[in-house]
Amino acid sequence: MARIYANENFPLPVVEELCRLGHDVLTTLDAGQAGQAMPDEVVLQFAVSQERILITLNRKHFIRFHEQVPTHAGIVVCTVDPDFVGQARRIDEALRCEGDMHGQLLRVNRPA
């Protein structure tokens, strides 16, 4: 399963479901970085240093970072979705289909 770093704004119920699905998910709280208002560049650097795929709702900034610095372990950008279990399952499915995430950007959107 994937090693993931959940950005601070990412919903905890989605993280919990990803863990139930077998993923190793580190949150900013787990990493001792909660409430520090870390710049997005630092968030990505941390994910890279931990060799973890970054999951975030902050699509705009991280899509740009992906284009500027494609040497990351992977980035998954998501839309806000109140169906936390469904969102986690869509992320899980996307990660399984993609395989090696190094340098990859995945978009996981809420169904229409």
pLDDT (tens digit per residue) in 29-74: 888 877 788 888 889 999 999 999 999 999 988 898 888 888 899 9
Class of the CATH domain delimited by 3-108:
alpha beta
| Per-residue confidence (pLDDT) for residue 19, from 0 to 100 | 98
In angstroms, the CA 9 to CA 6 distance is 8
| Per-residue confidence (pLDDT) for residue 61, from 0 to 100 | 87
- Rounded to the nearest integer, the mean pLDDT of the chain is 93
Cα→Cα distances 50→26, 66, 85, 90, Å: 10, 17, 26, 24
CA dihedral 58, 18, 104, 59 (to 10 degrees): -10
- Of the candidates 41, 62, 50, 52, the residue with the CA atom closest to the CA atom of residue 107: 62
Single-letter code of the amino acid located at 4 = I
